[in-house]
Amino acid sequence: MRLISKTRSPFIHQLFYRIPVFKRTPVGNVTKRHSGFVMCLLCLLVSISGCSHAVSVEKNKDQAVSAQKEAILLVAFGISNDDKLPAYKNVERLVRSRVPDADIHWAYTSHIIRKKLAEKGIVVSSPEQAVAKLIAQGVTRLSVQSLHVIAGHEYEELLAVLHRYQSEFTSISIGVPLLSGVADADQVIDILLKNIPERRTDDALILMGHGTTHSADLCYVAVDGMLNTKDPRAFLGTVEGHPTFDQVLARCRQSGIRQAVLVPFMVVSGDHARNDMGGDDPESWKSMLAAEGIDARPVYRGMTEVDDLANLFVDHLMAARSFNGALSLKDKRN
């Protein structure tokens, strides 16, 4: 296969990622060996029949497309608590509002989450398992939406799975994670700042992101800078990356912050939010802020619980489905 890039933006990953898969498509029983003769014949027919031939070709093309089976695969990190499942269901609801007849499937990238669920008797596929099942079901056109915040390790693993199975599909399109460009970050920040009714006039806003060892951790640093420019009393820190909690705390001290709301900058308000952010443990963010004289009130609401934020994922999915292809794989025989 030969990889051809047509993307315009170098920001972490391409704005939209699409993998059309071109296989040898016979015209009747004609193979490439006869392609020169076929082209001459087609030119002759066009010159004789004019537009009628072009209409016939398009009609046949449309019939071929309509005969293909399509599915949508939503891929998330995963959740083990049933009370947070509505956050994911909200995304599915919004997808169905735009693609009413969609055949929607789910996959979790976290092995730990899948193992926890399996112990409860709940089976959720990994991305590779889900793709294999869809192939067995005869799906030929696959649309995938990553429900990750950044294009980090798990997103790259998802892309690797799709590359391995791309020859089994007529086309695969994938919508990128939430933060895949400056425009995405700008939208996310604006929506977040307008959707925290728990925040009072004198409250600072402290967002908790996950963080990562991947280079895409820079996304959190960028969002923190953009957020603080829009609202000097708003900060973003991460559990496992940058900016760190200590950096956020130092800036709170400098700004004279005495009260704040803590909000997860995560797709779902899960264990990190309940324990690391708002738990009663001395090392939780709420407790460490309290030790500095800052009254921090946790808000347990993930980003996909806010329709406007969840719709950004759906926007990425819809754009990928209609996009002509930022990346394409072409048959080396062409």
Q: How many residues does the chain have?
A: 334
Residue 62 Cα distances to 55, 68, 170, 319, angstroms: 11, 10, 14, 21
CB 219 within 8 A of CB 191: no
CB 267 within 8 A of CB 147: yes
Q: Is 303 left (phi over 0), alpha (psi -120 to 50) or beta?
A: alpha
Q: Which residues, at least 6 apart from 277, have a Cβ–Cβ distance to it below 8 Å?
A: 208, 262, 264, 284, 285, 286, 298
C-alpha 285/C-alpha 287 separation (Å) is 5
Q: Which one from 210, 214, 242, 272 is the annotated catalytic residue?
A: 210
Token pair belonging to 91: 């995304």
C-alpha 235/C-alpha 238 separation (Å) is 10
In one-letter notation, the amino acid at residue 227 is L
C-alpha 103/C-alpha 51 separation (Å) is 37
C-alpha 252/C-alpha 233 separation (Å) is 8
Element (H, E) at 265: none
Q: Which residues, at least 6 apart from 189, have a Cβ–Cβ distance to it below 8 Å?
A: 223, 226, 227, 230
C-alpha 22/C-alpha 169 separation (Å) is 9
Concerning whether 210 is annotated as a catalytic residue, the answer is yes
- Paired residues of 287 in beta bridges: none
Q: What are the φ/ψ torsions at residue 260 (nearest 5 degrees)?
A: -155, 160
Which residues are marked as active site?
A: 210
